[in-house]
């Protein structure tokens, strides 16, 4: 397989995945609409409960802690990446000689 065929196959697979996701999303939305039309009061209560729970969750604190954790983990990752690149460069230079 050459690179054009692989790119075409990957693009086709991505397109099929996108189409499948759109179909599934449309089905979920349709089922939700049917449920809301059949049980409007219960759906409203579920919506109010979900809103109340989301309001009480410390989402910004969780997000801030996640960002801090990612930044904390980024420093060692960059150090390891830099050391790897230096090692690769020295190996390439030693094989060129």
List phi, psi (to 5°) of 2.
Answer: -90, 175
Mean pLDDT, consecutive 10-residue segments, the chain of 97 residues? 59 85 94 95 95 86 91 92 92 78
Structure confidence at residue 2 (pLDDT): 53
Structure confidence at residue 57 (pLDDT): 84
Ordered by start, the domain boundaries in the chain are 1-57, 58-97
CA–CA separation, 73 and 61 (whole Å): 18
Contact partners, residue 36, CB within 8 Å, separation at least 6: 43
Structure confidence at residue 29 (pLDDT): 94
Q: Which residues of 66-75 are buried (b: 16+ CB within 10 A; e: fewer)?
A: eeeeeeeeee
| Helical axes 40-56 vs 3-38, angle rounded to 10° | 120
DSSP assigned state of 57: S
Structure confidence at residue 7 (pLDDT): 62
Structure confidence at residue 6 (pLDDT): 57
Structure confidence at residue 34 (pLDDT): 96
């Amino acid at each position: 397989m050459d690179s054009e065929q692989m790119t075409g196959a990957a693009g086709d697979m991505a397109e099929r995945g996108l189409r499948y996701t759109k179909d599934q999303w449309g089905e979920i939305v349709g089922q939700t609409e049917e449920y809301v039309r059949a049980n409007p009061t219960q759906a409203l209560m579920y919506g109010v409960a979900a809103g109340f729970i989301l309001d009480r969750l410390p989402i910004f604190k969780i997000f801030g802690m996640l960002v801090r954790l990612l930044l904390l983990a980024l420093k060692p990752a960059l150090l390891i990446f830099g050391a790897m690149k230096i090692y690769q460069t020295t190996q390439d230079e030693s094989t060129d000689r």
